[in-house]
Chains A and B, each alone.
Chain A
Amino acid sequence: MAILEASEIVKRFGPVTALSGAGLQVEPTTIHGLIGPNGSGKSTLLHVIAGRTLPDGGRVVLDGADITRAKPAQRARAGMSIKFQLARVYHEQTVADNLLLALQVRDGIPSLVLSRTRRRHQERVRRLLDDFGLTHVRDHPAGELAHGEQQWLEIAMAMATEPKLLLLDEPTGGMNRHERERTGELIRAAATTCAVVIVEHDLDFIRDLCDRITVLHQGTLVASGTPVEIERDERVAEVYLTRV
C-alpha cells in the first residue's frame, strides 16, 4: 500500500491553472523524485501535499488518512516532515536546540514549561548530531553554520520525529559537488526508515538517487516509473526538449 497518495489535484491561482489533475503515489521506504520543467507545477504539488496551500480539487491521503485540508501542524503530527527550499532553521538558537525543538513537538505545554523532557531527548539529539555530522557545531547558533550544514540541520530536524514521509524541496540548491554527494548519502540513510519525496532541478542527482521518478508538465502527470523507464520515455524527452 502506498504511504502517500495524492490524486486528481487541481490548483488555480486566479486565472492561472497550476495543477490540473496531477497526482503522486509514493511507496514506503522509497525515494521518489518529482521533476518537470519550470512552471510544470512540481513545487505547487509539493506545497499541496505539505499543506502550505489548499487544493481546489483532489485528495491527499497519508498512510490511509485523508489529510487534504489538514493544517500543517496536523500533518506533521500525522508523520509528514518537510525541508524547505531555503534552509529555515532557527538562527539564534543552537544546533542542539534546533534539534530539541524538532524532537519535543509532541510534549505537552506543562512539561515544556518545566523543561522536563530535555534530558529524555538528549540521547536522540546526540545521535542525530552524529548521523548528520554536526557534533562539532552542536552549541553554535545555527545562523553561524555554512550553507550546506544548515541544509543538513534542517533535514536532521525533519527526521527527528521519525516521520513516515519526508518532503525535500531542492535539497542540493547552491551546494558544491562534495556537499551534494554527502546530501545524497544522508537521504539514502533516511530512506531506510521512511519514504522520501524530492523536488529537484539537478537531473543527474535525481537519476542516481531515486527509486522512482514522476514527471510533471503544465500541471499534469506526464510519466511515472523507474529512472530507466523515465529515461527511455518519449513523452518525457519531448517535454524536456521543447523546453529548450
Chain B
Amino acid sequence: MQRVLTPAWWLADGGRRVGAIALVAGIVIAGPLLDGAGESFWMMALTRALILGVLAVATNVAWGVTGIFTLGQAVFFGVGAYVVGLLATREDVVALESLAGAALGAGLLCGLVVGAFLFFGRRRVGMLYVGLVTLALSYALERLASVWGEIGAGNGITGIPLPTLLGTEIEPGISFFWVAVVTLLVVLGLAWAVMRSQFGMVMRAIRDDDERAEFLGYRRPIVQLVVFAATGGVGALAGGLYALEEGFVSPTFLGVSLSTQVLIYVLLGGRDSLVGPLVGVLLLEVGGQRVQEELPTEWPIIVGAVLLLVILFLPNGLTQLGRRRRRAAAPRPETAAEVSGGDPRGE
C-alpha cells in the first residue's frame, strides 16, 4: 500500500488513475456549485445520473469483470424501486436506513434465486442463455407489473414521500444529492477493492476461461452466484434511491428499455473499468441532457451511431482511449536482473 503514496503510482496507466480521481472529485464539487448557482434542474439531473451510475457500476462488476452476461439488470433496479415504493406508501416506512436495507435485501434475494437457477446444476449454461433469460425476465416482469392491480398496474406507485435519515427529514435538492454521492462513493470504493483483490483475479479468471478455473478447483457456480447476488443487491439499492428521488415507480423501471440503457452506459464507458460505466452515465444523462434540448430528435441517433462505432472500433469503451497497448509498452527484458526493480505496474 505504500506505493499508493508515490507519484509513479498515480501516473501509471497513462494517467487514468488521476483522471478517475478527478472525475469523482468533480462530481462531488459539482453538486454544491450547481446548487449555489441556483441550477436545481442540473443538480437533479446529476443526482439521477449518479443513482443510475450505481446501477452501471454494479452491472459492470457482474458483466465486465466476471463475464455474467446480464441483459436484464433493470429487474433488480425495478424490484428495489417497488419494494421502497410499497413500503413508503403502504407501510409508512420513512427511514432511509430501513428502506435502503429492504431494497438491498430484496435485490440480494432475487439475485440468489435467479442466480441459483442459472448457475447451479450439472448442465452448465452458455453465456448467451444467461443473456436471454435475464432479458426475458426483464421483459416479462415489466409486462406483469403493468397489469398487476395490487402494485398499481400501469400507473405504478406515485406519491412516494422523501425519506428521513437518522430521524431528520431529507430536503429535496442538495441533501438528496449528498445521499446519492455517498452511496456512489461507497459502491465505487467497494467495487475498486473487490476488482483489485484476489477475488477480483478469480472473477476475471471465470470470465476469461471458466472451464480452466473449474479445473484449477474453483467452484464456478458459487463465485458467479456471489457476484450476481451482490451486484443485484446494489442494483436494487439504486432502484430504491431512484424511486425516492423521483417520488414514483413505474413498470418501466423493470423493463427492457432500462436494461439495455445500462448496457449502453457500460459499453460506452468501458467494461472492466472502475469509472468507465460512470463516464458512460454522465455522458448520456448529463451531457446528453444539454444536447437533447437542442436536438431532441437527433439525440438518440447520435447515441446509436456513437455506440455502434465504439463497439466496432473501441471494444473496451471510451475510457480505453489513452490507455497504451500493454504489449508495446512493456518490452520483454531478457534477464531477471533487469526486472529486479519490481513490478512496473504497482502492487
By a beta-carbon cutoff of 8 Å, the part of chain A in contact with chain B is 50, 71-73, 76-77, 81-82, 84, 88-93, 97, 100-102, 104-107, 109, 111-115, 117-118, 135-141, 144, 157, 161
Contacts and interface: CB of A to CB of B under 8 A. Distances in A.
Given A139-B339, A140-B330, A144-B327, A71 B214 contact: yes
A8 to B, nearest CB: 23
8 tightest A-B contacts by CB? A76-B217, A112-B199, A105-B217, A136-B336, A112-B198, A72-B214, A115-B197, A113-B199
Given A73-B219, A109-B226, A144 B201 contact: no
B215 A76 contact: yes
Contacts of B17: none
A213 to B, nearest CB: 25
A90 B217 contact: no
B194 A113 contact: yes
A72 B216 CA distance: 8
A90 B209 contact: yes
A25 to B, nearest CB: 23
Contact of A92 (B208, B219, B335): B208
Interface string B236-271: 000000000000000000000000000000000000
B218 interface: yes
B210 to A, nearest CB: 10
B324 to A, nearest CB: 13
Contacts of B326: 141
A157 B202 contact: no
Contacts of B214: 71-73, 76
Contacts of A91: 208
A82 B212 CA distance: 9
Nearest to B209: A88
Contact of B343 (A76, A93, A139): A139
B64 to A, nearest CB: 13
Interface in B203-239: 204-205, 208-209, 211-220, 222-223, 226
B223 A109 contact: yes
A112 B202 contact: yes
B204 A90 contact: yes
B332 interface: yes
A135 B335 CA distance: 9
A109 B215 contact: no
A113 B226 CA distance: 11
A122 B228 CA distance: 30
A40 B331 CA distance: 44
Interface residues of B, number: 38
11 contacts: A72-B214, A76-B217, A90-B208, A92-B204, A101-B201, A101-B216, A112-B198, A115-B197, A135-B336, A136-B333, A139-B344
B293 interface: no
A93 B217 contact: no
Contacts of B339: 136, 138-139
A115 B216 CA distance: 19
A73 B198 contact: no
B217 A73 contact: yes
A151 B226 CA distance: 32
Given A71-B214, A91-B208, A135-B336, A113 B197 contact: yes
A117 B226 CA distance: 19
A63 to B, nearest CB: 16
A109 B222 contact: yes
A220 B79 CA distance: 57
A219 B93 CA distance: 69
A105 B330 contact: no
A50 B214 CA distance: 11
Given A90-B205, A105-B218, A144-B332, 20 more contacts: A50-B215, A72-B214, A73-B217, A73-B218, A76-B215, A88-B212, A91-B208, A92-B208, A93-B201, A101-B201, A104-B202, A105-B216, A109-B223, A113-B199, A115-B197, A115-B198, A117-B198, A136-B339, A140-B332, A141-B326
Contact of A100 (B194, B198, B220): B198
B3 interface: no
Contact of B335 (A76, A111, A118, A136): A136
B323 interface: no
Given A92-B204, A136-B336, A107 B218 contact: no
B334 interface: yes
Nearest to A97: B201
A71 B124 CA distance: 11
Contacts of B90: none
A123 to B, nearest CB: 16
B198 A107 contact: yes
Interface centre among A81, A82, A135, A136 (most CB of B within 10 A): A136
A112 B343 CA distance: 21
Contact of A76 (B193, B202, B216, B345): B216
A106 B214 CA distance: 12
Nearest to B345: A139
Given A117-B198, A135-B336, A139-B343, A101 B217 contact: no
